[in-house]
Amino acid sequence: MTDTLNKANTYIYDLNKDILDSLELMSFNSLVSEVIINTGKLDINEEQKFPDKTSLKKCNSCDIEFETDLLLKSHYREDFHRYNLRRKANGILPITFSEFENIMRNSDVESISGSDDVETSDNESDEDIFSTHKDQLDVIMENEIATLNSSRDNQQDSASHLNTRSPMLYLRSRHLSEEQVFGLYKCIFTPNTIQHPLDTLRKWQDNKKPPGMSALFMFGGGHFAGAIISHQRQSITGNLTKQGQSLQTQSVKLIEHKTFHRYTTRRKQGGSQSTMDNAKGKANSAGSSLRRYNEAALKNDIQIVIKQWEPYLSKCENIFIRAKNIADMKIFTESGNLKKDDPRIKKIPLTTKRPTTNEIKRVWCELTYLHITLRPQPVSQDKAVPSVVPHPIQQKKVEEVKELKLEEIHTKEVTSILKKSKAPQLLLYLKKHKLDVNFKLLPSYEYSQTPTMLHYASQNSLKNMVLFLLSNLKSDPTIKNEFGKTAWDLAKKIEVKRSFQIARSNLGESFTTWEDSNIGEPLTREQVAELTDKESKLEAEESSRAMERELEIVRERQRHKLESKRGPGKTLNDRISSNQLHLNSLSEDQRKRLMREQRARAAEARMKLSANK
C-alpha cells in the first residue's frame, strides 16, 4: 500500500485530496452489473462536417474503409450509413451491412432514399444527403432508434449508485487496481446527501466550518455504551499501537461517553427477564425479581443519559443506535428527547460485539473510513430477485386436489368417529350409508395393517369400540390382514384383550370359529371385574413390599452413615467399671477425702432443697 492509501488518509471527514480527486462513483443495474451512464449527445452531422483528415477513406460511423473517395461519398448516400449514423448519435455501436439487410428484409421495405434509382451529382454537397424528406424508411429507422433509446433509457433509469445489494456505495480510484474499489457505508449520508455522495464528501472537507458531531449508542444483554463523537480527530502523534486498539481508534475524539451494566439476563439462558415473563409467565424467584428490577433501573439510567446529552444530540448529524429488538429501541425514544421518526436515527449496518467504549470507537472507524474491497460481481439472471415479490400466501404451492373415491371418503369418516369413541354416531353413519361392518378401509396401501374397523380399533387401543363392534355390530373377528394377523393379534393392552373375551362370552361359541380369531377364553364382565380386583390387590401388595424394601435399605444406609461418624459407642457397665478402676487407683487417705467431699456436697444440696420449700 502506498503512502497515499495509508489508512489515516481515508477518513471521510478528513480525506486526502489526491484520493478525493480520484474518486468516481460507480452505478449498477438491478443485477449489480456496472453501468456507464453516457450523458453526452452527438450531432448527427458532426462526422460529415468534421471528417477525420487523417483517414478520409474510412467511415467512422460504420467502421468501414474504402479504396477511393468516390466510394466513400457513395457510401454516405446509402441507407446503411444513415442508419449507423443514427445509432452512433444515440451512443449505440454500429451494425454490419448483413445485419442491416436483415432489418430491411424483416421490415419489408424497399430503399427509396435515391441511392440506386435517383442520379446524383458528384458536386452535390454532403448537407443535401440529410435534406431528403421523411419516407417510410425514416419511419422504420426512427421506430428502431426509439426502441433502442427506450431500452437504454430504461437501463439508465434502473441504474443507480445505490443498486449495490450491500450497505455500501462503491467508488473507483486510479490508486487501486482494476479488481479493487473503495467502499463507503450508505448510512453515513442523509436521504438528500446520498443522492450526490461525491459532492457531499467534498463539502465535508471544508475546514472553515466548525467540526460536526455524531452520537452512537449500543445496548444489549444488560450492557450499555454511548458516546458523542466529534468528526474532527484528535492528535495521536507519537502514539504507539495499544493492545486491542489501532491508531485509528485512538484518534477518535469522544466529547462525552458513558458505559454501565446491570444484571438483567440469566446466564446461559439469554433474553431479558421481561421477555421470559411474556413467554412463560412471571417467575417468583429471587433472581427473576432482581433481574426485573435491574431491567427497569437500566432503562431509567439510559433515559437519564439521553436527557443529560440533549444539548449535544440536538447538534448531531447522525445518531446510530444498535438495539436487538423494537422493545430495546423504544427505550431511546420513549424519553421524549429523541423522536421515533427522527431521520438522523440509523441502525448500525455491521456486526458488533459487547457494548464498550472500545467497541464504540471500532464501530465509528468502520463507518467513517473508506474500505478497500473487491469489485462487486454481477448476480446471475437465475438468482435475480423478482421486481414484484408475491405475497407469502400466493407463494404457497397449490396442491393438486386428488378426487377421492367414495370408499375412501367413508374410511376417513369412520376412522374419525372411531378415534372419538362415539358408538351411536358410528351406528347412524353405517345405517345411513348402508355400509357393512366389515367393509375394507381404503386406500389399501395405507390400511394394510388395519383393513377393517375392528383391526383399527384394536391397534389403537379403543377397548370400548372393540366391544361395540363385536357385541353390537357383529364384526367378524377371524378376518386377517395382509400379514396374517387378526384383530386380537394387534391388541397391545390387556384391557383391549379383555374386551375381546367379554364379546366372545356375550356372542357365544356358536357365533364363529373362535379358534381362527386367536381370541382367548370367554370371560363375563363379573369375571373380568374379579380379575381386575385381584390384579389391583396383587399390584398394591407388590408395591407395598417394594416400598418396604426401599425403606429398609434407606434405614440401613442411615445407620451405617451414623456409625461411620460417631463410632459404635460404649455401654453403661463399661463406664461404671471405669470409675471403679479410678477409685481403686487411689490410696486409702485419698479415697476417704473424696468420699467426705461427696457427702458434704450431697448435704449441701439437701439443705438448699429444704430451704426452697
User: Do the beta carbons of residue 511 and residue 500 sit within 8 Å?
Assistant: no
Indicate if the pLDDT at residue 524 is higher than 50: yes
pLDDT tens-digit map of 87-140: 777 666 778 888 777 777 766 544 444 444 434 444 444 444 444 434 555 666
Indicate if the pLDDT at residue 570 is higher than 80: no
Half-sphere exposure of 507 (CA within 13 A, CB side): 26
Considering only CA atoms, which of 120, 58, 129, 132 is closest in space to residue 94? 58
The grid cell for 82 is 444513415
Phi, psi of 214 (to 5 degrees): -140, 155
Is residue 256 helix, strand or coil?
strand
Better pLDDT: 101 or 575? 101
Of 273, 303, 459, 501, catalytic: 273
pLDDT tens-digit map of 234-293: 988 877 767 678 888 999 999 999 999 998 887 766 677 777 676 666 777 888 888 889
Indicate if the pLDDT at residue 72 is higher than 90: no
Proportion of the chain above pLDDT 90, given as a percent = 38
Is 273 noted as a catalytic residue in this protein? yes
Indicate if the pLDDT at residue 549 is higher than 90: no
Considering only CA atoms, which of 528, 531, 533 is closest in space to residue 503? 528
The pLDDT of residue 490:
92
Is residue 383 helix, strand or coil?
helix
User: Do the beta carbons of residue 242 and residue 250 sit within 8 Å?
Assistant: yes
In our burial notation (b when 16+ CB lie closer than 10 A, e otherwise), range 126-147 reads eeebeeeeeeebbebbeeebee
Considering only CA atoms, which of 128, 134, 145, 5 is closest in space to residue 76? 128
Residue 37, C-beta contacts closer than 8 angstroms, at least 6 positions apart: 27, 156, 159
Q: Largest Cα–Cα distance of the chain, in whole Å?
A: 172
Alpha carbon 61 to its chain's center: 55
In our burial notation (b when 16+ CB lie closer than 10 A, e otherwise), range 162-176 reads ebbeeebbbbbbebb
User: By mean pLDDT, which of 24-33, 206-215, 383-392, 422-431 is the weakest?
Assistant: 383-392
Beta strand extents in 190-252 (DSSP E only): 213-220, 223-230
What's the CA angle centered on 246, arms 242 and 250, to 5 degrees?
85
User: By mean pLDDT, which of 407-416, 425-434, 554-563, 565-574 is the weakest?
Assistant: 565-574
**Cβ neighbours of 484 (radius 10 Å):** 7
Domains of the chain by start residue, with CATH:
57-106+133-152 (no CATH), 210-235+246-374 (3.30.420.60), 406-523 (1.25.40.20)
Alpha carbon 209 to its chain's center: 44
